[in-house]
Amino acid sequence: MKKLLIVSLIALGLSSAAFAQDHPARHAGHDNQRLIKALEITDDQLPLVQGILEEYNERRRELMEQQREQFDRINLEQKEALSGVLTAEQLEKLDNLKKPRKGNWRDGKRPYSERDKPADQQ
């Protein structure tokens, strides 16, 4: 039971990196242009539509920032809880498991799972 809890907590921590992305604005511009083209927005509509899209994109960015802060806080609490259960060696292994994944997400890349890695990286 204890091992299952630890494995579940580790999986939660590793999967939470997916929510820590910091690049929604990069995609918003492309999505907006596709939408404007697909809807055949007129010259009169364009400034109004762009204003609306930008306003809501900003609101989404703010919400994602709040969520990122919450996830960071939860991850810190999780690490503190695990430090009371895991050995120093296990904590070090956990940190090493998270490093490559975290770095790739911050760079806007999807981290590889072990089975997805190219053969030369396994």
Distance, CA of 64 to CA of 37 (rounded, Å): 27
pLDDT, tens digit (0-9, with 9 covering 90-100), for 50-60: 999 999 999 99
> What pLDDT, on a 0 to 100 scale, did the predictor assign at position 30?
78
pLDDT, tens digit (0-9, with 9 covering 90-100), for 65-92: 999 999 999 999 999 999 999 999 999 9
Task: List the structure tokens of 105.
Answer: 């997400």
- Answer whether residue 22 shows pLDDT above 70: no
Quote the mean pLDDT of the chain. Answer: 77
CB neighbours of residue 74 within 10 Å:
13
